[in-house]
Amino acid sequence: MSETTHDPAPTHDRDGRRTFCKLCIGGLSVASAATVAYPVASFLGMPITVGANKPVAVPLSSLAPGQAHYAEFQGQQIVILSDEEGQRVFSASCPHLGCNVMWSPADALFHCPCHGAVFNSHGQVVSGPVSASLKKVPFEVKNGVIIVS
């Protein structure tokens, strides 16, 4: 029997594999660092809202019956609703996971786009995974203007 010896892989094959592995590890390292750095940089770069505690004033004449008006109050979205039953103000944040609810005038319901929660015009739960109503926001009406403060 003749004895055969196997030569190790040629040098250029090993160098190519090493280079490929180094590139893969480097690329994954950069992707991992970016995954951590982006949210941190976004948080640190958030602008400070000027006048965040400023009251919201919306004239009743600018509210069409059955239409919702969204505004920012203390850094959060609120929704002002005016219909034949009167005016109501809610936090636009769904109590389930905090997504902003959207008003549908066609069926007079608030819909949460995240998980399908549905609320009526009084903020009460109609359906969905949520068990709490929309949070009511105190307001007053003075001289034909809704004031949230």
Q: Kindly report, residue by residue over 12-33, the tens digit of the pLDDT.
A: 667 788 888 899 999 888 888 8
Where are the domains positioned within the chain? 10-46, 56-148
Percent of the chain with pLDDT over 70: 83
Does residue 11 register a pLDDT over 80?
A: no
Angstrom distance (rounded) from CA 41 to CA 53:
25
Does residue 49 register a pLDDT over 80?
A: no
131 vs 53, which has greater pLDDT? 131
Strand order through the sheet with 109-111 = 102-104, 109-111, 118-119, 125-127
**β-bridge partners, 70:** 79
pLDDT at 25: 92
pLDDT at 77: 87
The CA distances from residue 94 to 60, 76, 106, 111, 148, in Å, are: 25, 12, 20, 9, 19
Reported for 17-24, long-range contacts at CB under 8 A and 24+ positions apart, including other chains, are none
Angstrom distance (rounded) from CA 72 to CA 100:
12
Q: How is residue 69 annotated by DSSP?
A: E
Give 10's pLDDT tier (boundaries 50, 70, 90): low
Q: What is the CATH number of domain 56-148?
A: 2.102.10.10
pLDDT at 36: 83
Angstrom distance (rounded) from CA 111 to CA 100:
9
Q: Kindly report, residue by residue over 101-144, the tens digit of the pLDDT.
A: 898 888 888 898 888 889 998 889 988 888 889 999 888 888 88
Angstrom distance (rounded) from CA 149 to CA 135:
15
* pTM assigned to the model: 0.60
DSSP 11-51: HHHHHHHHHHHHHHHHHHHHHHHHHHHHHHHHHHTPPPPTT
Within a 10 A sphere around the Cβ of 29, how many other Cβ atoms? 10
pLDDT at 52: 56
